[in-house]
């Protein structure tokens, strides 16, 4: 709630003071708030903590890349994506389900440049 309200200082302090180890959901929420509020330096700090955890995932890297890109730091966004490739961190494509004439159809979102 603090993150969504833009109170990122308080949110980061709360996460740091938690008696249990913050999980991926907590860090991901803070990272998403950093992107939403243009807090690149804080996002970098959060990402450094995330990448030391065994449960860091593709979503964290994508959020960091998008944070850089939305703040005009495209070179750094590309570096994050390259790091993902180098470390073999794959983003699972999004999917949509539709029901047409009683039949459920699933569609995956894939980049146009990956279609052969």
Domain boundaries, the chain: 8-90
Q: pLDDT digit string (tens) for 69-98?
A: 999 999 999 999 999 888 888 877 777 888
CB 78 within 8 A of CB 97: no
- End-to-end, the C-alpha distance of the chain in Å comes to 44
| 3-class state of residue 105 by DSSP | strand
Query: What is the value of pTM for the model shown?
Result: 0.73
Taking the C-alpha atoms of residue 44 and residue 42, their distance in angstroms, rounded to an integer, is 5
Buried b (16+ CB within 10 A) or exposed e, 31-41: bbbbbebebbe
| 3-class state of residue 8 by DSSP | helix
Q: pLDDT digit string (tens) for 103-116?
A: 888 877 766 555 45
């Amino acid at each position: 709630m603090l993150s969504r309200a833009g109170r990122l200082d308080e949110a980061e302090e709360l996460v740091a003071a938690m008696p249990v180890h913050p999980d991926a959901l907590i860090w991901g929420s803070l990272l998403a708030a950093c992107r939403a509020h243009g807090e690149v330096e804080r996002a970098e700090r959060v990402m450094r903590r995330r990448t030391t955890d065994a449960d860091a995932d593709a979503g964290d890297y994508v959020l960091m890349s998008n944070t850089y890109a939305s703040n005009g730091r495209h070179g750094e966004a590309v570096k994050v994506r390259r790091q993902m490739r180098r470390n073999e961190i794959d983003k699972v494509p999004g999917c949509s389900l539709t029901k047409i004439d009683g039949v459920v159809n699933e569609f995956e979102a894939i980049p146009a440049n990956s279609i052969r």
